Amino acid sequence: MMKSGLRTMLGLAGLGLVACSFPATAADVTIGDLVISHPWTRVTPPGAKVAGGYVTITNKGKATDHLVGGTAAIADHIEVHEMSMDGGVMKMRELKDGLEIKPGATVELKPGGYHVMFMGLKSGPVEGTPVKGTLKFEKAGEAEVAYDVAPLGAKSAGGMDHGTMNHGTMDHSKMDHGNMNHDMKMPEGQHGKH
């Protein structure tokens, strides 16, 4: 967490981005009654047209809100999705009415569950380069976020520790896509139109 935050900060500083208009670290973002924590995504296989975005949202208010959409710089548009098992097959569907965030609730978007989906990728997420975007809520409005980029196949933002991981023995291109990248397991046609 600390490391990735520092990396993000250094990366942005290196690019000379204006920090005041955009969160320079993976710090929480507050909008209205909502606290948005640690947005992250992960590197996609070459040629992928979609990518999942993950984030934790806490509602500190007294009214239910809904995550209804947003934007991502690397994608044509984003959708709010739910993934679930249906007869032994992982399926995902768009939440047309948005993702409900009840008062007092913390909702975690993560691989295998709720996620935002970057549709029509213009370019894949690149490690070390946060993906800029917004998350739009029915009541709270639109918040600017920056997704940290985890390695291909990461199960969580902190799932792989670069400090101790041995890159020498690990070949990302040979990783088992079959059991970890839901984007590749989509039933034919579901996202094919993109």
Give the interface with Cu ion as residue ranges (CB under 5 A). Answer: 81, 92, 117
- Count of beta carbons in the 10 Å neighbourhood of residue 111: 18
**Minimum distance from residue 148 beta carbon to Cu ion (Å):** 19
Residue at shortest CB range from Cu ion: 81
**Minimum distance from residue 52 beta carbon to Cu ion (Å):** 6
Q: Are 56 and 108 in contact (CB under 8 A)?
A: yes
- Count of beta carbons in the 10 Å neighbourhood of residue 176: 8
Q: Which is nearer to Cu ion, 26 or 50 (CB)?
A: 50
3-state secondary structure of 9: helix
Q: Which is nearer to Cu ion, 18 or 89 (CB)?
A: 89
Q: Which is nearer to Cu ion, 111 or 130 (CB)?
A: 111
Q: Which is nearer to Cu ion, 23 or 52 (CB)?
A: 52
Q: Which of 61, 54, 48 is nearest to 83 (CA)?
A: 54
Distance (Å, whole) CA 90 – CA 70: 25
DSSP sequence for 29-75: EEETTEEEEEEEEEPPPTT-SEEEEEEEEEE-SSS-EEEEEEEETTE
**Minimum distance from residue 74 beta carbon to Cu ion (Å):** 15
Q: Which is nearer to Cu ion, 36 or 117 (CB)?
A: 117
**Minimum distance from residue 30 beta carbon to Cu ion (Å):** 26
**Minimum distance from residue 149 beta carbon to Cu ion (Å):** 17
